[in-house]
Structure 1
């Protein structure tokens, strides 16, 4: 694990990066150090270290590799979602398949991107999840769409048209503030819709809402 200098702790979005490949870590740091409003405050090489770094530094966003020794990224994210929910986890992986994406969404992560993502898109992803939205890279979204289960029997939709509209925008990464602007309703009304949707669908996180929307074709 690495603690960065105290100068990295001033204004900006605080980042912890967890990856067991040193070259990858250095590459991510190099990408982000050019951003004046993003500060990498610590790194970790496994899930256990990642949790410790989050506990010590209280970052805004965690870039978490999926495959790591001792404790993998999905296991670490499950712990963070329960104990340090304010740290928004963006999962980094080389895997672009439905099984991995579903596991990540269930773990409590709020974003999923491939390690080959451009520096520009990485910065966009960090800022998006920091603002309270979800982020899934384009190829991930395409994978979810192309592999939707079409053979399942349709079930009654418990959501109203307005709730469907809110859910669709949530799945697209919209924050409550942004959704309120797009639908021309109040922020409080959006929050009420979100809570009603969670209650009706028995879901508990934004990632689960996005998963439901993808699987039921509500993102088109």
Structure 2
């Protein structure tokens, strides 16, 4: 009996083995077939691109990077961001120091993971985020001293407080430019740098003993400083006298303080976890009133009903995406200020959002306190673009063939055309269905690109160089 049943069990085992192998091979073949189909689609896309000029071919690598970013948008990026926002909401429920330390460690690990993803494709900011403002400036000063031999003295005044990442970068750039000007043009042998923390603003003062000038000429460097500061509602003051040196003062309002006015915020995002997490985090700010929408259509309906001050607009949403909703809102209610929010950088989206009139473009991985400060900044009339995205936009201009000598965008050309017709900001805003603040931002960008200081110079340069054909 046992000897006769042995071949049966052996045959059954062999059959099961071959069935398992066959099933695995079928799954593998299906996976390979799926990969082949994707490769076929990609190859077809590349075949079409190869028919264009060599200048367009230079863009294919960028297009592939954008495709990868979009594919990651709903997977790794959203997962990390959801983890970060979800853990932030747990803070009020943790009542032990040990639990707080563990949560902070998990948050740091999640943020590091998200940064690692972004670092694979994009360059990091020149300033180390972990460094406070004064330490970042000291590091810059030490490098400058070792390279030039100029004597530098640095001191801080007031009680230091956290400064927004964008404000830190702007002051860092302003100090770079001021030190370079003092050494190269002013031929200074001694420079004093003061960083002053006031409750209302942070101030950077750079004073040298160089040659000085009776009249300051705003070249590309100083114009860049002024534009960077202006975007954060900051100011630039320069006092220079021949043989007495030059003093440069840069001020940026402290946007970390809660304001006395209530800011009505509409948060539009189709991801429930991210939407509710952001609502809870922003709701902790005493000057914020937050309402939520899950689609672009809902956002438009709430604009009609509530007239919010600020909209945090997700890009990828069902029914109507963030771009279409932004266009319609800006055309109907140009005074509503819109901040686009996304998981990973995509400069094609960023450029289109700015063209439509959005005042901000941020990554969802931004720290909650910095997001709150950015909202207050934009509410007060400023603009903000994530530095990672801003850097890519700048790099992108070096790749795409210019449509005009100064790379003016279509919207900037519209605004410039209004300037040449003698229209004031309000008239241009009404003509283009944009807010006056957005028009001012476009004009600042036009001045920077044309390298002019005012409206009259811009109009004169436009006419002399025939930027518009009759």
Task: Tell me which interval the TM-score lies in, with the shorter structure as reference length.
Answer: 0.5 to 0.7
Cα deviation for residue 97 of structure 1 reads: 2.1
- Pair 1:135 & 2:384 matched: yes
Question: TM-score, normalized by length of structure 1?
Answer: 0.67
Asked whether the equivalents of residues 406 and 449 of structure 2 are also in contact (C-alpha less than 8 Å), the reply is no
Asked whether the equivalents of residues 296 and 317 of structure 2 are also in contact (C-alpha less than 8 Å), the reply is yes
- Pair 1:199 & 2:419 matched: yes
- Pair 1:44 & 2:304 matched: no
- Pair 1:74 & 2:323 matched: yes
Distance in structure 1 (CA, Å) of the matches to 2:364 and 2:265 = 16
- Pair 1:145 & 2:394 matched: yes
- In structure 2, the residue matched to 1:32 is 282
Moved more, 132-141 or 43-52: 132-141
Asked whether the equivalents of residues 311 and 339 of structure 2 are also in contact (C-alpha less than 8 Å), the reply is yes
Question: TM-score, normalized by length of structure 2?
Answer: 0.33
Higher helix share: 2
- In structure 2, the residue matched to 1:8 is none
Asked whether the equivalents of residues 91 and 109 of structure 1 are also in contact (C-alpha less than 8 Å), the reply is yes
- Pair 1:86 & 2:306 matched: no
Cα deviation for residue 152 of structure 1 reads: 3.7
Residue 210 to residue 118, structure 1, CA distance change in 2 (3 Å)? farther
Asked whether the equivalents of residues 339 and 362 of structure 2 are also in contact (C-alpha less than 8 Å), the reply is yes
Alignment coverage as a number of residue pairs? 172
Deviations 1:166-216 (A, max 9, x none): xxxxxxxxxxxxxxxxxxxxxxxxxxxxx8796249995527728955994
Residue 122 to residue 154, structure 1, CA distance change in 2 (3 Å)? same
Distance in structure 2 (CA, Å) of the matches to 1:214 and 1:66 = 30
Residue 157 to residue 148, structure 1, CA distance change in 2 (3 Å)? closer
Cα deviation for residue 128 of structure 1 reads: 1.3
Q: Which runs of 5+ in 2 are unaligned?
A: 1-260, 409-414, 422-427, 452-470
Cα deviation for residue 75 of structure 1 reads: 0.3
- In structure 1, the residue matched to 2:363 is 114
Asked whether the equivalents of residues 351 and 393 of structure 2 are also in contact (C-alpha less than 8 Å), the reply is no
Cα deviation for residue 33 of structure 1 reads: 1.3
Moved more, 68-77 or 209-218: 209-218
Superposed CA RMSD: 3.3
Cα deviation for residue 141 of structure 1 reads: 1.3
